[in-house]
Amino acid sequence: MVRKNFNIFCSFICVLLIFSGLFIHFEEVQAQSLADTGEKTVYQVPVEGNIERGLSAFLNRAFESAQEENADLIVLDINTPGGALDASFEIKDLIVNEEIPVYAFVNSQAISAGSYLALASDEIYMRPTGTMGAAEARMGTEVADEKVMSVWETEMRTVAKERDRDPDIAAAMVRREMEIEGLVSENQLLTLSAEEAKEHGMAEGIVNNYDELLEKTGYEGANIVEYPMEWAERMARFFTSPAVASILLTLGMAGLVIELSSPGLGLPGLVGLLCFGLFFGGHIFAGLAGYEVLLFFIVGIILLLIEAIAAGFGVMGLAGIVSFGFAIVISAESTEQGLMMLLYSLLGTIIVLVIAFRYFVRSRFWDRIILNHSESKDQGYVGTNTEYKNLVGESGVTEGPLRPAGTAQISGERIDVISEGGYIPEGTPVQVSKVEGSRVIVKEIKSEESDQKEEDTE
């Protein structure tokens, strides 16, 4: 048992290292140095999908690359429905602190936090069909509380004023109660079309494509360096999205529980290892977590394995669960999101385990996945029944460890029993203390009691 659990643990560590390395050691885009050509260099960087800290980490690398190549301009190609506020604040700081001019090109939409990033840019250019606004802060499906809304409105006003744009128009994107005559009525969030944005000074111009933007801004003929998001970064952003991350945790925990309950490193264990590797590897690569999460997670697994080997449910098991959960929570974008992911994944794990053991444990397919066997009369097993009430007070020996359930030889029969005091090792003398329905409950016979029984027998 110890050897099998040790092999499981070693395999788990190997998979984690492989997936962490896979995400971390990838071939980054290498922009050709253009410093000596005498031509201007423009970095084109996509801002697509939900705004989260994975995107923040990507943009940080893109800006560093632009600095190394002495770029003259960074253009953010924006097409986003918004996203997390904390990630948006990080990206805003990146934009406003950048010495290289940063322009926003609203390719399609800069909605919610996307409008915040556009307003933080030095200049804004929009396609004729582009839109910008609708930046009401929300927590799930509900409007955020006043504390969050106040901070968010102030942020929008500040970045607008910083770039000589109308702060009231920026605030109207956040507050429904804001009314601006001829632009937005009360109880409506402001969303600007390209024409409205230009007319009210919220955008510098309207362009049909990227070439027009460069021509209008004096960068015509410049060397364009596209800094696309690599496949590893896209995968990391996918695996760190709350929904996908919760699914990975659910499958990982379910696989781990099934494998530890029936050691053998079958399909459940492999699936669990892969899911945890993707979860932590993705979060580390996306910049959401550092290697310390692996430390907490590995410590948690070690403690749980020790508890499984020693059995019972004591301090080791509780400490392992706490360390395991802490690693998951600090991997998330925020504590609230981490706790929600942990809660959803725990509920999902319970559902998966119930379905797995209810519908698959008796099938041939399941028998191939985990080590399963039947306990028939031919093998010496006898089911509990009302006759076992006569066994109260009888003694016997455990045939295997009780965790707390197991089997024992009592009065010449192999009987399914349950320990009343937690873990009892194999080969331990036990005594039937009571029978409740189909449950035969036993307690360990201490050495003094065992010696007394032997004296009474003599």
- Report d(CA 85, CA 94) in Å as an integer: 14
Residue 145 corresponds to which tokens in the numbers above?
């509380």
Neighbours of 207 (CB within 10 A): 21
Q: If you count them, how many residues does the chain have?
A: 458
pLDDT by 10s per residue, the chain, length 458: 444 444 444 555 555 555 545 444 443 443 444 444 457 899 999 999 888 878 888 899 999 999 999 999 999 999 999 988 888 999 999 999 999 999 999 999 999 999 999 999 999 999 999 999 999 988 767 888 899 999 999 999 999 999 999 999 999 999 999 888 888 888 899 999 999 999 999 999 999 998 999 999 999 889 999 988 777 777 877 888 778 888 999 998 888 887 776 655 567 778 888 898 888 888 887 777 778 888 888 888 888 777 766 655 567 778 888 888 888 888 877 777 788 888 889 898 888 888 877 766 444 444 544 444 545 555 554 554 556 778 888 889 998 888 777 888 888 888 888 888 777 888 889 988 888 777 788 888 876 554 554 445 44
* Complete domains list, the chain, with CATH: 2-20+233-369 (no CATH), 30-229 (3.90.226.10), 377-452 (2.40.50.140)
State the pLDDT at residue 4: 47
Count CB atoms within 10 A of the CB of residue 50. Answer: 18
pLDDT for position 70: 92
pLDDT number for residue 283:
83
User: Where do we find the tokens 């230009």?
Assistant: 198
Distance CA 156, CA 134 (A): 12
What does the H/E/C string look like for the chain? Answer: CHHHHHHHHHHHHHHHHHHHHHHHCCCCCCCCCCCCCCCCEEEEEEEECCECHHHHHHHHHHHHHHHHCCCCEEEEEEEECCECHHHHHHHHHHHHCCCCCEEEEEEEEEECHHHHHHHHCCEEEECCCCEEECCCCEECCEECCHHHHHHHHHHHHHHHHHCCCCHHHHHHCCCCCCCECCCECCCCCCEEEHHHHHHCCCCCEECCCHHHHHHHCCCCCCEEEECCCCHHHHHHHHHCCHHHHHHHHHHHHHHHHHHHHCCCCCHHHHHHHHHHHHHHHHHHHCCCCCCHHHHHHHHHHHHHHHHHHHCCCCHHHHHHHHHHHHHHHHHCCCHHHHHHHHHHHHHHHHHHHHHHHHHCCCCHHHHHHCCCCCCCHHHCEECCCHHHHHHCCCEEEECCCECCEEEEEECCEEEEEEECCCCECCCCEEEEEEEECCEEEEEECCHHHHHHHHHHHC
pLDDT at 313: 54
Q: List the structure tokens of 431.
A: 């005594």
**How far from the centroid of its chain's Cα atoms is residue 388's Cα?**
50
Put residue 325 in one of left, alpha, beta given phi > 0 → left and psi -120 to 50 → alpha: alpha
Contact status, residue 23 vs residue 232, Cβ threshold 8 Å: yes
Answer yes or no: are the C-beta atoms of 105 and 213 closer than 8 Å: yes
Q: How far is Cα 289 from Cα 294, in angstroms, rounded to an integer?
A: 9
C-alpha separations of 361 from 283, 356, 372, 380, 416 in Å? 34, 7, 8, 22, 19
What pLDDT shows up at residue 121? 96
